[in-house]
Amino acid sequence: MLKNDYLPAKSYTDPAYFTLEQEHIFSKTWAFAGLREDITKPGQFISVQAGLNNIIVIMDENHTLRAYHNICPHRGTQLLAPKGKVDKHITCPYHDWRFDLNGQLRSLPKKNIEFKDLDKKCFALKAASVELWRGMLWVHPEENPIKLSQWLGEIVDHIGPHDVEKLVEATNDVVVKDVAANWKIVIENYIDHYHLAQLHAGTLNMYDHAKANFQFFGPHFAFHEPLTKSYHDNIERNSPLPLIKHIEKADLAAWVPMLFPGIGLTASESSWSVFQVIPLAVDKTRIVIRTKIQPSSDLTYLSQSMRSAFYWRNLIFAKDATASDDHPLASEDFLAEDIYVCEQLQRSLTSPMYQQGPSALFGEAPVREYQRIVWQYIKAYSPEQ
Ligand code: FES
Ligand SMILES: [Fe+2]
């Protein structure tokens, strides 16, 4: 049983839970793999971890995206590194078995001596699934899984007006951070409304947290909150980057959905990001953030950042003068603030004195619901049964 709506503390600290989650959550759901522009030519590929599976996404000669398990059918060696391009074949680095881009085994060294009776047709790469949705590549370890649109369901109508295909990636601004906390703490923080006005009092105060709307659609979470009136009234001056042109000014706001189990989409008046939570160990999580912005000239960016300097200067001077500059809470960076509290929370979980306290009626309701959903996936296998 899930006690008091909370996951057991051990699910954040015990490697047995980590393995269960990898097997029963991340190996059975759709995983974000990359952006459409990561694969544009035949032979170009990426590989991505989806729970216990490593999956290759590659474009074949007909420009169709294909997905295969990254396992050689000979002895099992991973065939390809995280990203790159091959010509017409995927060649295993170990004994040079060669597969075409449709996954068929085409040749193997010394076939007539070492493998006289081997039928090449029986040793194709194992198929997985790939779908393209809103400029993003998604993979599933199964060959015939639930369709991505069916998996996402109603959430697709609540993720905001950003047209990802009209934006360009800020490739110099990819963020990769390893966090010393369980992956669920990172996601719970992402969907926790209660902390916004406190932890981020100095960094996310352009949003009107009191007017936030949020709810789950199946396992996925929708979140929207408007900008404050004063920020919105002067949005051209305040925005640190050029505004996204295809969105009506009235709709410029924060849209921050979370797609189960661990993908955040963070859209604002001037950017759209995918926030990927990658569990590395029970107490270690990698966050990868890729951001897209309105295409503009360098000059436009420069003048925009100068116009918004007034806003940022105010923000900096508004800070507590006694705070130490190298402390995450004095960093002016809301991600650093979030990472700090996630790691502080993880530190307490192994203490014999740790006890989950009361949960905020509205602001922490998403956290309770998220824990309930995770529990549905793992309860049948939980050591706490
Ligand atoms: S393991 Fe791939 S060719 Fe031997
Ligand atoms: Fe936060």
Question: Is any ligand 1 atom within 6 A of the Cβ of residue 95?
Answer: yes
Burial grade of 184 (CB within 10 A; 0-12, 13-18, 19 or more): buried
- CA-nearest residue for atom 4, ligand 1, is 95
Q: What is the DSSP string of 218-261?
A: TTEEEEEEEBPHHHHHTHHHH-SSPPPTTS-GGG-EEE--EETT
User: What is the average pLDDT score of the chain?
Assistant: 92
Reported confidence tier of residue 319, pLDDT bands at 50, 70, 90: very low
Q: Decide if 182 contacts 283 (C-beta within 8 A).
A: yes
Question: Is any ligand 1 atom within 6 A of the Cβ of residue 286?
Answer: no
Measured from the Cα of 97, ligand 1's closest atom is: 3
Which two tokens mark 67? 């997905």
Q: Decide if 152 contacts 259 (C-beta within 8 A).
A: yes
Give the number of whichever ligand sits closest to the CA of residue 256: 2
Residue 385 has pLDDT above 80, yes or no: no
- CA-nearest residue for atom 3, ligand 1, is 95
Please give the CATH topology (third level) of the domain spanning 154-381: Naphthalene 1,2-dioxygenase Alpha Subunit; Chain A, domain 1 (3.90.380)
Q: How far is the CA of 37 from the centre of ligand 2 (A)?
A: 29
Question: Is any ligand 1 atom within 6 A of the Cβ of residue 177?
Answer: no
Q: How far is the CA of 69 from the centre of ligand 1 (A)?
A: 14
Burial grade of 204 (CB within 10 A; 0-12, 13-18, 19 or more): middle
Angle in degrees, CA 140, 141, 146, rounded to 5:
50
Q: How far is the CA of 334 from the centre of ligand 2 (A)?
A: 6
Tokens 């001056």 — which residue?
A: 237
Measured from the Cα of 108, ligand 1's closest atom is: 3
Reported confidence tier of residue 312, pLDDT bands at 50, 70, 90: very low
Please give the CATH topology (third level) of the domain spanning 31-144: Rieske Iron-sulfur Protein (2.102.10)
Rounded CA separation 281/18 (Å): 7
Ligand 2 is an ion; residues with CB less than 5 A from it: 338
- CA-nearest residue for atom 1, ligand 1, is 75
Q: Kindly state the average pLDDT of the residues 121-150.
A: 98
Q: Decide if 244 contacts 167 (C-beta within 8 A).
A: yes
For residue 332, the number of C-alpha atoms closer than 13 Å in the C-beta half-sphere is: 11
Q: What is the pTM of this model?
A: 0.91
Residue 321 has pLDDT above 60, yes or no: no
pLDDT digits (tens, 9 = 90+) for 326-376: 888 888 889 999 999 999 999 999 999 999 899 999 999 999 999 999 999
Please, where in the chain does CATH 2.102.10.10 lie? 31-144
Which two tokens mark 276? 């990927």
Question: Is any ligand 1 atom within 6 A of the Cβ of residue 85?
Answer: no
Q: Work out the number of other CB atoms within 10 angstroms of the CB of residue 231.
A: 19
Residue 301 has pLDDT above 70, yes or no: no
Please, where in the chain does CATH 3.90.380.10 lie? 154-381
Q: How far is the CA of 196 from the centre of ligand 2 (A)?
A: 6
Rounded CA separation 227/210 (Å): 11
Handedness of CA 69, 73, 78, 82 (dihedral sign): negative
Question: Is any ligand 1 atom within 6 A of the Cβ of residue 75?
Answer: yes
pLDDT digits (tens, 9 = 90+) for 7-35: 999 999 999 999 999 999 999 999 999 99
Measured from the Cα of 96, ligand 1's closest atom is: 3
Give the residue, out of 91, 94, 118, 123, with the most ligand 1 atoms within 8 A of its beta carbon, to mutate for a pocket test: 94
Angle in degrees, CA 163, 266, 149, rounded to 5:
60
pLDDT digits (tens, 9 = 90+) for 157-193: 999 999 999 999 999 999 999 999 999 999 999 999 9
Closest residue by Cα to residue 185 from 356, 385, 377 = 356
Q: How far is the CA of 99 from the centre of ligand 2 (A)?
A: 46
Q: Decide if 103 contacts 113 (C-beta within 8 A).
A: no
pLDDT digits (tens, 9 = 90+) for 224-276: 999 999 999 999 999 989 999 999 999 999 999 999 999 999 999 999 999 99
**DSSP H helical segments within the chain, as ranges?**
15-21, 111-114, 148-152, 183-191, 196-199, 229-233, 235-238, 298-307, 309-317, 334-348, 365-378
Q: How far is the CA of 62 from the centre of ligand 1 (A)?
A: 27
